[in-house]
Amino acid sequence: MSDSKPPVVCVGEAAIELTRAADGRFATGCGGDAFNTAIYLARAGLPVSFATALGDDPYSDGIVAMAAAENVATDLVLRVPGRLPGLHLIDPGADAGRRLLRWDAGAPAGELFETEHWDRVAAGLLTARLVYFSGITLSLFSNVGIGRFLAVLEVARKAGSVIAFDCNFRPHGWKGDLGRARTVFIETLKRVDIALPAFDDEAVLWGDPSPETTVERMQAFGITEVAVKNGPASALVAASGERLHVPVPEAIEPTDMLAAGDAFNAGYLAARLQGEKPPEAALAAHRLAGEVIRHKGSILPRAGGAIH
């Protein structure tokens, strides 16, 4: 990938997380899929900015402080007076599974491209080497916000930015409106260079019977690089006219599957930005995701959070 545009910009939500322990007590943190990916990209030594909107409350201050501590730039974080960030409740389940309940209604992140100074965010995207976001990001926005965001992506792409997208489909985020989700995703995929879908999401939204079908559908939009995450077994990478199944290098009994996909995306994009070919990038992505699922929570302790 070209080095002419150094920054990476991740667009999405950073919310307050309440995690319930087995004894019923709650621990407070913060996270979000694009935010998690931004942190792991920064730990890989890449210059990263996170684009979102927050309130002017102490919890929003805490999110900004965490980003700064992780070397994630906050120049594209807009602050909206009198507002509060979203709230996520994480309930532990069996087999390393977790139940995530979200209260995002009214959170300013959903108005990122409608609030005052949204043009500052747009300008930041136009200078990015790579812009990353997800289907969860899109689910936060109104039709007006989505229209503005996609228009900015189109201009950024023409100016040389690489657009990376994880479909990350969550039905509740779209209020069960699969038709709207499909319409938005179709328009989005027309503007994507690197797709990082998870096969189980694609099977729910599109009825894909196999990862190969997902690749073919993505390629029909002109996407030249696709890495389909396929659970604990492998990833299917399609680029430069070739397809390759990249297996997980080590079978791991997970402690917590939260943020496995976010880590995979960060590992993959970091490796690609550092000059690795897609199959090697998928292997690096597997390794980072494997480290993340050994631990509880979205973000590894600092000592174990670097991408090697």
Q: How far apart are CA 187 and CA 67, in angstroms?
A: 31
- Per-residue pLDDT at 97: 54
Is 3 known to be catalytic? no
pLDDT digits (tens, 9 = 90+) for 168-180: 999 999 998 999 9
Q: How far apart are CA 224 and CA 282, in angstroms?
A: 15
pLDDT digits (tens, 9 = 90+) for 100-141: 788 887 899 999 999 999 999 999 999 999 999 999 999 999
pLDDT digits (tens, 9 = 90+) for 235-260: 999 999 999 999 998 877 877 788 89
pLDDT digits (tens, 9 = 90+) for 44-100: 999 999 999 999 999 999 999 999 999 999 999 999 999 999 998 888 764 455 667
Label residue 29 exposed, middle or buried (CB < 10 Å: 0-12, 13-18, 19+).
Answer: middle
pTM, full prediction: 0.93
Domains of the chain: 8-301 (3.40.1190.20)
Under 8 Å between Cβ of 144 and 111: no
